[in-house]
Amino acid sequence: MRLHEYQSKSLFAKHDIPIPQGCVATTPAEARRCAKELGGAVAVKAQVLIGGRGKAGGIRLADTPAAAEETAAAILGMEVRGLAVRELLIEESVHIAQEIYLGIVVDRSQRRAVMMASAEGGVEIEQVAHDRPEAIVKVTIDPLSGLSDVQTGALARDIGLEVQLHDAFGRIARGLYEAFAAHDATLAEINPLVVTGQGKLLALDGKMVIDDNALSRHPDLSQMRAQSAQDTGQETPVERKAREAGLSYVHLGGEIGCVVNGAGLAMATMDVIKYFGGVPANFLDVGGGANAAKTAAALRLVLGTPGLKAVLVNIFGGITLCDEVAQGIVTALGEVETRVPLVVRLVGTNEERGQEILAESGYRLLSANTLAEAARKVVAVASGEAAT
């Protein structure tokens, strides 16, 4: 679970990391009120769960409360890298003298948390790591003894931080590690950690990713997710529909839509499509024992995929009844007008009745008995070859 900037910062503050004063706004009027309370210029920051907001225009400065209101309206009306903005963080604007990177991740190979720092903060750290790996310094944290003063001192020195700031840097680094450890995080990051015009260190951005498997230990964090009106809105419309229909769906962007029962069979189906030269448009597991309504919902969803060239329905009926599935296919085709060819492999329980329903429906469907045959056919029709 990824936390929003304002949520991460609220956890940082509990561990004595200095953050700018600010408040969350969901309307331009709230943004104005907040800017007025803060007094002076503010930064208006889109709260979306993606990095690079600055470059995408999701972070702007405003000099007056009226300007903050106007800026808030503009940012609330836009998408930042494909995500709609529903919440804003309004913060006192800070004069920046230097931007530092400070972060902690889990290094799986060492089975330890690793703290990284760089004098080249502000930009994406992945880019720095790629272009100039020597500009990032690291220390490995012992889980029993924690982060030592010697380690934080070494980081401060190695990034060339001026000596007067070393103690403050050490406190922030320790706070970040405490926040990371206390919340079972897999990542905690301050980018940028800035040196202000007044020569103080301040966490200007915050990012935390919590291990989903540990959420049961953190009821307060689960609440954060529920509170954030945005999180459900971060799904694409198709993903939301899939979740609401109880389908396991992952968009992949290829040309061949897949409707399959069972996650393992769905994986195998994608593999076999790839093996024959096709590209799956999605992963979709309708689940065991899917009825007509659920199958119809699944097929409707897949038929709505942009760039779709063909669909493969692959059902191996055990508990799932083939006649129910067939009924679902017919229902969906009655509702969604489509010119995309459908290949249907329907085997198992009530297979004969299912085949009859499909044959009686009058829709032109291509059938197949084995998965290999089905995959070969769907790849052929997707590339515009005549069906055989």
Annotated catalytic residues are: 101, 189
Establish if 192 lies at the interface with ligand GDP (CB under 6 A): yes
Range list of H helices, 28-139: 28-38, 65-76, 125-131
- Coil/strand/helix, residue 100: strand
The one among 39, 40, 52, 77 contacting ligand GDP by CB under 6 A: 52
The two tokens of residue 313 are 């329905």
Q: To which residue do tokens 């956890």 refer?
A: 11
Binding-residue total with ligand GDP (CB under 6 A):
17
Question: What are φ and ψ of residue 266, in 5° steps?
Answer: -65, -40
Establish if 51 lies at the interface with ligand GDP (CB under 6 A): yes
Question: Which run of H or E residues covers position 324?
Answer: helix 322-335
Q: What is the rounded CA–CA span in Å between residue 255 and residue 378?
A: 10
Task: Report the DSSP pairing between strands 83-84 and 79-80.
Answer: antiparallel
In the complex with ligand GDP, the residue whose CB is nearer, 32 or 376, is: 32
Q: What is the rounded CA–CA span in Å between residue 293 and residue 329?
A: 9
Establish if 91 lies at the interface with Mn ion (CB under 5 A): no
The one among 59, 62, 90, 242 contacting ligand GDP by CB under 6 A: 59
The two tokens of residue 133 are 């790996």
Q: What is the rounded CA–CA span in Å between residue 313 and residue 367?
A: 10
Establish if 285 lies at the interface with ligand GDP (CB under 6 A): no
Taking the complex as a whole, the smallest distance from the CB of residue 191 to Mn ion amounts, in Å, to 4
In the complex with Mn ion, the residue whose CB is nearer, 45 or 309, is: 45
**Binding-site string for ligand GDP from residue 8 to residue 47, where x marks contact by CB under 6 A and - marks none:** -----------------------------------x----
Q: What is the rounded CA–CA span in Å between residue 92 and residue 112?
A: 36
Q: What is the rounded CA–CA span in Å between residue 139 and residue 124?
A: 20
Taking the complex as a whole, the smallest distance from the CB of residue 129 to ligand GDP amounts, in Å, to 15
Q: Which does 96 bind (CB under 5 to 8 A by kind): ligand GDP, Mn ion, none?
A: ligand GDP
Q: Is 338 exposed, middle or buried (0-12, 13-18, 19+ CB in 10 A)?
A: middle
The one among 205, 285, 323, 324 contacting Mn ion by CB under 5 A: 205
Q: Which does 204 bind (CB under 5 to 8 A by kind): ligand GDP, Mn ion, none?
A: ligand GDP
**Binding-site string for ligand GDP from residue 73 to residue 92, where x marks contact by CB under 6 A and - marks none:** ------------------x-
In the complex with ligand GDP, the residue whose CB is nearer, 202 or 224, is: 202
**Beta-bridge partners for 117:** 102, 137
Assess contact for 358 and 322: CB atoms under 8 A.
Answer: no
The interface with ligand GDP within residues 101-130 (CB under 6 A) comprises 122
Q: Which does 49 bind (CB under 5 to 8 A by kind): ligand GDP, Mn ion, none?
A: none
Task: Report the DSSP pairing between strands 201-203 and 185-196.
Answer: antiparallel
Establish if 99 lies at the interface with Mn ion (CB under 5 A): no
Q: Which does 18 bind (CB under 5 to 8 A by kind): ligand GDP, Mn ion, none?
A: none
| Contacts with ligand GDP, residue ranges (CB under 6 A) | 43, 51-54, 59, 61, 91, 93-94, 96, 99, 122, 191-192, 204-205
